[in-house]
């Protein structure tokens, strides 16, 4: 019975030892797989981050091209704009594929796609305004700030996506580390137990051959596991090298002594110099690195990668590079991070950098253009001042001979009418009326000229009250007329009360004039909020006008009806436009012949004044 009992002990002990080894092997395989997944997620996070940077770069190129074209009107600024438009959808599609495993990230990418479409639409609207209406409307459109807000929202959402990716990465790495720790403990315990069991097996083994075969079997299993681990490590290393080779930015990894461990192809292409074994102290000289003044050599131990090796993080540091293979120099932006062990010991640093030479050149060109535009604006302001002074002086000089002409014509009409025939009396009457009309034109011209020089006093103004005051001012014009006033809810704005009252007086007076032929005049004043501005309108049921002449409506001395039909000098709406422009707003009109007209003007919610003559 004893041999049978001992045989059973050997069999059971061997089975238990084998089972424990299988469990330990399974845990080791699972741990290796999870570590592989963690590395893949590291690579995935880098790819997502890089793709987000590419999307942001495309949008920045759209923003730069859009603003450059609006400022200059030069189509060459639209080349990067159009290039970015042609590539950004592909970038977003790749980003969408990268986040298919995460519904919340996928939703954020979908929101980013919507924000992108909104930003492109806003940019296209600015370009269209620049092409169709010129610089000033486009500038006003840019000053509304929609494009900046959209870009701020996009940058915030991209930062949110990057934060989520990093949090997911940290969570998965932490889980993998915890699993690895458990596996190590289990593996150690399993080894101890297996060793005890094997001792028992060896103790009860009756033959040395069985003992040797058991040892050989264990050795074969261990070699097989080692081979699998080595193969997995080789595959992971191949994937990492492939990923680094496909990245467009330069990626450099160094150990704590300054020895380069990774130097991807993009890094060699950007620097035009490969890795060096000369050490940190020689990096500045080897790669020709200078401070942003382009003259002072960069202190070697202050280089971003050197700081990362010391445990510091560096974000978007700009530096200048110039050496024999890059004689004209290049601008680089560098982000660096330290590499630390599980216990916090420094193991080196990693630096990611890209060539921003073209961007720096574009920024310099834009600055020069802005300086030129500022000089041109100053010259234009001076020219406007001289023109206003000339207009004012000329108008005053015309008044004296005009008074003589009108006075003598009235004397002739009064004292010599009996000596004139019918044609003569008609001629004199025409002269008197023309002189009076000329006097009105001069008065209105002087008033229009004074608008450019008037000092605006900004206060909180109730548009509701201004409309009531304007209607009261026009009370005499509504005598013996049936007029229905429809006054909606109007906002209060920060503006000049007297100037806005003149706006309403002109608009309501026009509405009364052009509804004179109606049995019952209907005049509506209302408002609506549109983004960051309040839009006010005055609508009537008068004779209207042909929209093909709408571009002339707000011009000085521009009339869309004959003087015999409706009196006026053609100054009123020009004054309205000038006042609204000074408040940072805009004016436009809509009409159908014989079906009334609507005059619109807008005021920013926070109304500010522009310089006189603007």
Question: Confidence class of residue 330 from pLDDT cuts 50, 70 and 90?
Answer: very high
Mean pLDDT check: name the lowest of 15-19, 319-323, 351-355, 469-473.
15-19
Residues contacting 597, CB < 8 A, separation 6+: 514, 539, 540, 542, 544, 545, 589, 590, 591
On the question of pLDDT at 275 being above 50, the answer is yes
On the question of pLDDT at 158 being above 80, the answer is yes
Q: According to the model, what pLDDT value does residue 450 have?
A: 55
On the question of pLDDT at 611 being above 50, the answer is no
Q: According to the model, what pLDDT value does residue 400 have?
A: 64
On average, the pLDDT of the chain sits at 79
Q: pLDDT tens for residues 488-519?
A: 999 988 888 888 888 898 889 888 888 888 88
Mean pLDDT check: name the lowest of 114-118, 145-149, 192-196.
192-196
Residues contacting 68, CB < 8 A, separation 6+: 74, 77, 362, 365, 366, 369
Q: Report how far apart, in Å, the C-alpha atoms of 192 and of each of 24, 27, 30, 248 are.
A: 12, 16, 21, 50
CA proximity to 120, closest of 65, 157, 44: 65
Q: pLDDT tens for residues 279-299?
A: 899 999 999 999 999 999 999
Q: pLDDT exceeding 70 applies to what percent of the chain?
A: 78
Q: pLDDT tens for residues 61-90?
A: 888 887 888 888 888 888 888 888 888 888
The whole-number average pLDDT for the span 545-560 is 67
Cα 544 from Cα 535, distance rounded (Å): 21
Question: Confidence class of residue 97 from pLDDT cuts 50, 70 and 90?
Answer: confident
Cα 153 from Cα 130, distance rounded (Å): 25
The whole-number average pLDDT for the span 161-187 is 77
Q: According to the model, what pLDDT value does residue 334 have?
A: 94
Q: Are 120 and 85 in contact (CB under 8 A)?
A: yes
Question: Confidence class of residue 353 from pLDDT cuts 50, 70 and 90?
Answer: very high
Q: Are 255 and 347 in contact (CB under 8 A)?
A: yes
Q: pLDDT tens for residues 450-459?
A: 555 555 577 8
Say how many CA atoms lie within 13 Å of 48 toward its Cβ. 28
DSSP 8-state code for residue 294: S
Cα 269 from Cα 540, distance rounded (Å): 69
The whole-number average pLDDT for the span 210-237 is 78
Question: Confidence class of residue 320 from pLDDT cuts 50, 70 and 90?
Answer: very high
Tell me which range, 194-208, 367-381, 393-407, 501-515, is most confidently predicted by mean pLDDT.
501-515
């Amino acid at each position: 019975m004893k041999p049978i009992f001992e045989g059973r002990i050997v069999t059971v002990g061997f089975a238990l030892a084998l089972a424990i080894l299988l469990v330990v092997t399974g845990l080791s395989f699972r741990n290796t797989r999870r570590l592989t997944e963690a590395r893949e997620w590291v690579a995935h996070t880098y790819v997502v981050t890089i793709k987000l940077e590419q999307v942001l770069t495309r949008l920045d190129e759209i923003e730069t091209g859009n603003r450059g074209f609006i400022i200059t009107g030069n189509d060459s600024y639209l080349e990067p704009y159009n290039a970015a438009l042609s590539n950004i959808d592909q970038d977003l599609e790749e980003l969408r594929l990268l986040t298919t495993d995460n519904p919340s990230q996928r939703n954020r990418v979908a929101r980013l796609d919507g924000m992108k479409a909104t930003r492109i639409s806003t940019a296209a609207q600015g370009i269209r305004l620049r092409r169709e209406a010129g610089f000033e409307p486009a500038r006003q459109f840019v000053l509304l700030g929609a494009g900046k807000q959209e870009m701020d929202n996009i940058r915030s959402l991209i930062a949110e996506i990057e934060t989520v990716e990093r949090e997911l990465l940290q969570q998965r790495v932490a889980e993998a580390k915890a699993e690895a720790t458990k596996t190590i403990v289990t593996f150690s315990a399993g080894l101890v137990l297996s060793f005890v069991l094997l001792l028992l097996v060896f103790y009860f083994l009756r033959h040395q051959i069985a003992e040797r075969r058991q040892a050989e079997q264990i050795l074969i299993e261990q070699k097989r596991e080692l081979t699998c681990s080595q193969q997995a490590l080789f595959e992971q290393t191949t994937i990492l090298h492939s990923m680094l080779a496909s990245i467009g930015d330069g990626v450099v990894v160094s150990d704590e002594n300054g020895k380069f461990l990774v130097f991807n192809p993009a890094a060699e292409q950007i620097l035009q110099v490969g890795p060096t074994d000369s050490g940190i102290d020689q990096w500045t000289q080897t790669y020709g690195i200078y401070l942003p003044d382009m003259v002072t050599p960069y202190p070697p131990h202050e280089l971003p990668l050197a700081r990362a090796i010391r445990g510091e993080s560096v974000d978007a540091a700009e530096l200048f590079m110039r050496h024999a293979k890059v004689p004209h120099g290049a601008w680089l932006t560098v982000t660096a991070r330290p590499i630390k062990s599980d216990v916090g010991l420094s193991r080196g640093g990693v630096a990611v950098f890209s060539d921003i030479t073209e961007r720096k050149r574009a920024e310099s060109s834009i600055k020069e253009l802005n300086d030129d535009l500022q000089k041109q604006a100053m010259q234009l302001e001076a020219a406007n001042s001289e023109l206003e002074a000339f207009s004012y002086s000329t108008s005053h000089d015309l008044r004296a001979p005009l008074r003589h002409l009108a006075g003598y014509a009235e004397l002739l009409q009064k004292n010599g009418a009996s000596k004139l025939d019918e044609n003569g009396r008609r001629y004199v009457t025409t002269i008197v009326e023309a002189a009076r009309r000329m006097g009105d034109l001069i008065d209105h011209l002087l008033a229009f000229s004074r608008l450019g020089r008037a000092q605006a006093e900004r206060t909180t103004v109730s548009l509701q009250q201004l409309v009531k005051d304007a209607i009261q001012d026009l009370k005499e014009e509504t005598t013996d007329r049936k007029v229905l006033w429809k006054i909606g809810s109007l906002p209060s704005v920060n503006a000049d009360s007297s100037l806005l009252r003149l706006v309403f007086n002109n608009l309501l007076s026009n509405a009364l004039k052009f509804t004179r032929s109606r049995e019952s005049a209907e005049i509506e004043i209302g408002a609506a909020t549109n983004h960051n501005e309040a839009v006010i309108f005055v609508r009537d049921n008068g004779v209207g006008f042909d929209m093909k002449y709408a571009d002339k409506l707000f011009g000085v001395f521009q009339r869309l009806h004959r003087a015999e039909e409706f009196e006026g000098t053609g100054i009123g709406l020009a004054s309205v436009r000038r006042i609204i422009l000074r408040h940072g707003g805009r004016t436009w009109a809509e009409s159908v012949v014989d079906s009334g007209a609507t005059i619109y003007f807008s005021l920013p919610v926070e109304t500010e004044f522009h310089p006189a003559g603007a």
